[in-house]
Amino acid sequence: MGLKQRIPFLRWSVWRMATGARNITTTGQIGDGREAAAVAYVLKNAKADDIDDVLAAIDRFAYEKSLLINVGDEKGKLLDAAVRRADPKLALELGTYCGYGALRIARAAPAAKVYSVELAEANAVNAREIWAHAGVADRVTCVVGTIGDGGRTLETLATEHGFTAGALDFLFLDHDKDAYLTDLQSIVDRGWLHPGSIVVADNVKVPGAPKYREYMRRQQGTLWNTNEHKAHLEYQSLISDLVLESEYLG
């Protein structure tokens, strides 16, 4: 479904999702089984080994069945363009959910290894099923954990997955909005970024990452060069959102 068909009002499934907001923060899922239903829908309706068809099926599910908190099709195009600018060999996403964002990154960077860090094991299981169906399981990997766990997940990325100094070309922040800045700082401190690495942050307006936005404004032209892209919250045209794309100047 294209942008023109985005629905200009808040659908019932959004209100139902709002009631599940507490669930999201504790379990990583809305709480009504929609994520598992999305996987079943993809496996039944999308052509195997066809990334475009899998992404289209997830978007269709989110529009027609139940809203999902993927980056979505509108902001997804901003993500695609940023990935293409970075032309990554190694990309990292924080916040996997159903695997949609990582799949978009994999499509925009066909030669890249893509890693996604996710707190909730159930989301990792779902995402892996979707990636396997799309035919990218050999180069898209979910690591269950969080950057804020005192170094355990960072260490796993370093020792098991080849995250070394200057190796990380692209980073997508789409997890706990309050952790964007601290997690970015942890990654910078590891030295994984290089001048020219690109960091994209979703939901900077809604739910909002004000400290992250303020930090990028203060660092403009010194450590980072940021473009703020105006967009809408996923699968809606009523609520506006911001996607920040920041180039690391090193």
| 3-state secondary structure (DSSP) of residue 133 | helix
Of the listed 202, 205, 241, 245, which one is catalytic? 202
Size of the site for ligand SAM (CB under 6 A): 23
Among positions 13, 66, 126, 146, the unique one binding ligand SAM when judged by CB under 6 A:
146
Residue number with CB closer to ligand SAM (69 or 171): 69
Q: In degrees to the nearest 10, what's the CA dihedral of 66, 69, 74, 80?
A: -130
The two tokens of residue 208 are 């909002």
> Do residues 173 and 94 make contact, with C-beta atoms less than 8 angstroms apart?
yes
Among positions 129, 176, 241, 245, the unique one binding ligand SAM when judged by CB under 6 A:
176
Active site residue 45: no
Contact set for ligand SAM, span 188-227 (CB under 6 A): none
Minimum distance, C-beta of residue 121 to ligand SAM, in the bound complex (Å): 10
Among positions 107, 175, 190, 213, the unique one binding ligand SAM when judged by CB under 6 A:
175
- Considering only CA atoms, which of 64, 21, 228, 57 is closest in space to residue 130? 57
Minimum distance, C-beta of residue 137 to ligand SAM, in the bound complex (Å): 16
CA distance 110 to 15: 37
CA distance 131 to 118: 15
Alpha helices (H) in 46-110, listed in sequence order: 51-64, 72-86, 100-108
Residue number with CB closer to ligand SAM (121 or 250): 121
Contact set for ligand SAM, span 77-136 (CB under 6 A): 93-98, 100-101, 117-120, 123
Minimum distance, C-beta of residue 194 to ligand SAM, in the bound complex (Å): 23
C-alpha distance from residue 43 to each of 48, 66, 70, 75 (Å): 8, 16, 18, 24
Of the listed 174, 176, 183, 241, which one is catalytic? 174
CA distance 99 to 89: 19
Among positions 168, 179, 201, 204, the unique one binding ligand SAM when judged by CB under 6 A:
179
The residues of the shown chain that bind ligand SAM, judged by CB under 6 A, are 28, 69-71, 93-98, 100-101, 117-120, 123, 146, 148, 174-176, 179
| Residue numbers annotated as active site | 174, 177, 202-203, 234
